Amino acid sequence: MKRRLLLVSNSTLHGSGYLDHCQQHIANFFGQDVKRVLFVPYALHDRDAYTTMARNKFKTLGYEVESIHEASDPVEAVRKAEGIFIGGGNTFRLLKSLYDNKVVTAIRSRVMEDGVPYMGSSAGTNVATISISTTNDMPIVFPPSFSALGLVPFNINPHYLDPDPTSRHMGETREQRITQYHEETGTPCVLALREGCMLLVEGNKATLLGTTKARLFTRGKPSAEYEPHTDLSFLLTDTS
């Protein structure tokens, strides 16, 4: 298994700028072998502005950014990519655009078979999983399927929020919504990444990184908390 993934909960952490909280992890992840990163801005409407923001940030880290939306052939752009970064926004719009541009299979092949490093943030992390069924976003468009890239055999809930006992909000908590997901047929494991949290996957090894804990929801079992630097490799093989 050649996959290398950096799955980040959020692009911007309160009190810091775009990708500031994870920039050292990004530099460590792409390293010196990658010179150009293919950016996928499909999750936002203004793809030009989004690309400019990503391009400016990655330039400070020593990487050139090429955007897939600027390519005449998106599939060929994926085939030539040295590294891939899919940014956040609306997960439904992102996945629909991946299907519309016929790059789902190409990205999966490049990452899983060729070992091209893949970074996702928020929606970009959602689409790296089995399905987008545990996204927080509204279905503003309809992708042909909720099935995503399948780079890991479980689902993720980015931006996870703990229940607030002082809140007067009467809607479902994130925990309740994940429980509802598990009441239906779905992926047994959902890794909830709080903001400031990220998962590094190298082959069959998974390590929790960042400054906050993650919470694992497994159907039929109590939820579990995990500290940064915990080995979560069991998620890559045990989905029961």
Alpha-carbon distance of 199 to 157, in angstroms, equals 12
Alpha helix stretches (DSSP H) within the chain = 23-30, 47-60, 74-80, 91-100, 104-112, 123-126, 174-183
Among the listed residues 20, 25, 100, 159, the single catalytic one is 159
Among the listed residues 100, 137, 147, 233, the single catalytic one is 137
Residue 138 neighbours by CB distance under 10 Å: 10
Among the listed residues 9, 67, 97, 122, the single catalytic one is 122
137 is catalytic: yes
Going by the DSSP 8-state scheme, the letter that residue 18 receives in this structure is: B
Q: Supply the angle between the helices 91-100 and 104-112 in degrees, to the nearest 10.
A: 90
182 is catalytic: no
48 is catalytic: no
Beta bridge partners of 193: 214
Beta bridge partners of 5: 118, 201
Query: Which residues are annotated as catalytic?
Result: 122, 137, 159
